Amino acid sequence: MAGVSVQAFRRQGRRFGAGLVCSEMVSCAGLHHGNERTLGYLRIAADEHPLAVQVFGSEPSLMAEAARMVEAAGADLVDVNFGCPVRKVTKTGAGATLLDDTDRACRIVRAVSSSVSIPVTVKMRRGLEDGSRTCLELGPRLVEAGAASLTLHPRSARQMYTGSADHSLTAELVSLVDVPIVASGDVLSRERAEEVLADTGAQAVMIGRAAQGNPWALREILRGPGREPSRDEVAAELCLFVRETVRELGERRASGFLKKFYGWYLRGRFPKQLVQELVRLRATEEVVRRLLHEAPGSAFVLQRLEAELPTGDEVVLDLPISAYGGG
């Protein structure tokens, strides 16, 4: 969820019922070097808890240092990424590459878990190659090294997001360890969530892409099918998301970051020409005005949503993070 799970996204997930939200990946090297943008990932709002901050890297000592910073920032969990298949991460020896370097993976988890008092969890894929069963060998070793929970996305790194998640592996992993297992991958509905939980014995499911532009999916998975959101509700949620993202990232960064969200929210709900128009607008408040014009009743919904937002203080490290260093 890199480039997606900013604070505004996580806070929205909590409003719609997510039991735990997670940051996007945070580079341990970026934290070590005091990179301002990386430090901004540690900005935590009072209404995000419980929150996991996910870190990635290949050096145990730097990962331990990053974990201590995550704990100091107020996170409830440190999540270690052994699943990212993206080249710019794997070429550094981090992410899914560590599935092929199991000794180093265990050293990382041992170093991280011994450096903090909050729980340490691990997210991983099945392995690097299609058909790999590395996760079943590695999982018990990670628990022995200190992992309090494991999340399995049972695709290979080579698959990226193609094909389907093989949750028979999730069931096998559950049988091998005595810590909670979270099932990730292809959970798009309550029916599918119930099926995965029943078939695997996992204690929870993780929702990612299904919630992009569709927070109502979280509510449906938790409670069962309900009515579809109205155009006014969709437009109001997008307007709120735009404003909250600008508060977090600043206008300059947010205006580019938000463009992908317009399609995620509006396709199939509004004319595609509207998405094309919004992408061309330069200022985010122009986007908000256009949405309010397209769905006039959304102004009243937006006013209610903004009034209901909590106003708790953010918790930040005592570090030089500027107003534009978040996210």
* Nearest Cα residue to 269 out of 316, 226, 235: 235
Give per-residue burial for 162-190: e unless 16+ CB within 10 Å, then b. Answer: eeebbbebbbbbbeebebebbbbbbbeeb
Catalytic (active site) residue 84: yes
**Backbone conformation region of residue 316, classed left if phi is above 0, alpha if psi is from -120 to 50, else beta:** beta
Options 22, 84, 106, 239, the catalytic residue: 84
Torsion angles phi and psi, residue 270, rounded to 5: -135, 160
As given in the structure block, the two tokens for residue 127 are 């392995």
Q: Give kind and range of the element (H or E) at residue 56.
A: strand 51-56
Taking each helix axis as running N to C, give the angle between helix 231-249 and helix 298-308, from 0 to 180 degrees, rounded to the nearest 10.
50
**Backbone conformation region of residue 95, classed left if phi is above 0, alpha if psi is from -120 to 50, else beta:** left
Contact partners, residue 204, CB within 8 Å, separation at least 6: 19, 20, 180, 182, 183, 197
**CA–CA separation, 99 and 138 (whole Å):** 8
Cα separation values, 251 from 47, 68, 244, 254, 316, Å: 23, 31, 11, 5, 21
Amino acid at 257: F
Task: Name the β-bridge partners of 51.
Answer: 21
User: Coil, helix or strand for 211?
Assistant: helix
**CA–CA separation, 309 and 121 (whole Å):** 30
* Nearest Cα residue to 80 out of 23, 29, 50, 123: 123
Provide the annotated active-site residues.
Answer: 84
